[in-house]
Amino acid sequence: MKKIVVMLCTLMIAASGTFYTAVAQEMTPEERAAAAVDTRKSLFKMLLFNLGPIAGMARGAEFDAEVAERNARRIAVMATMIPEVLATDTSAFDDIETTALDSIWSNQDDIAVKAQALIDNANAFADAAATGERSAALRTFQAFGSTCGNCHDEYRVDD
Ligand code: HEC
């Protein structure tokens, strides 16, 4: 039984590998860049999706320690992907809609530092939220929330 499961898993991994390679090979460089932009926007949208309820609590909505901690931990985990989704230089294609500034491609070390700041501040907020004390959590919110803007100020088109 175990052997069969292992065999099936191996087959599935091999099949998905083939599929991924085939798809990647069929894409033009522009399509690949568009997909990379799509992926990074999706990650940032999910960050906002999780930050939303927390920001609402900071603005006076009822404090829910469980949701606050859960969403902040999610953000901390997702933020580990930021350097990866901001690693592909997509500047060669003018038709792709993006607000990412080209300075990103030559400042990967700083992107990693800013992503790490988000991870640390999100976890600090989650730790404070876990105490169940609204005031303790909100004291750490300022640092947490501003981590998003700190990167946008430097690496995103001003709107
Ligand atoms: C290390 C840098 C960095 C950090 C940290 C960061 N962002 Fe961003 N964010 C960007 C860049 C760059 C873009 C532009 C992406 C594009 O248009 O290709 C962006 C775009 C976005 C967008 C627009 C996505 C779209 O659909 O166009 C949202 C929403 C967003 N970020 C939310 C957040 C939130 C919320 C946080 C904090 C929890 C955050 N970001 C932290 C760099 C960052």
Q: Which two tokens stand for residue 120?
A: 């640390």
CB 150 within 8 A of CB 117: yes
Instruction: Give the model confidence (pLDDT) of 27-36 as tens digits.
Output: 999 999 999 9
CB 57 within 8 A of CB 64: yes
Measuring from atom 3 of ligand 1, which residue has the nearest CA? 151
Instruction: Give the model confidence (pLDDT) of 104-153 as tens digits.
Output: 999 999 999 999 999 999 999 999 999 999 999 999 999 999 999 999 99
Domains for the chain: give ranges and CATH numbers. 28-155 (1.20.120.10)
Measuring from atom 25 of ligand 1, which residue has the nearest CA? 41
Residue 11 CA to ligand 1 center (angstroms) comes to 37
Measuring from atom 31 of ligand 1, which residue has the nearest CA? 44
Q: Percentage of the chain surpassing pLDDT 70?
A: 84
Calpha distance 67→104 (Å, rounded): 32
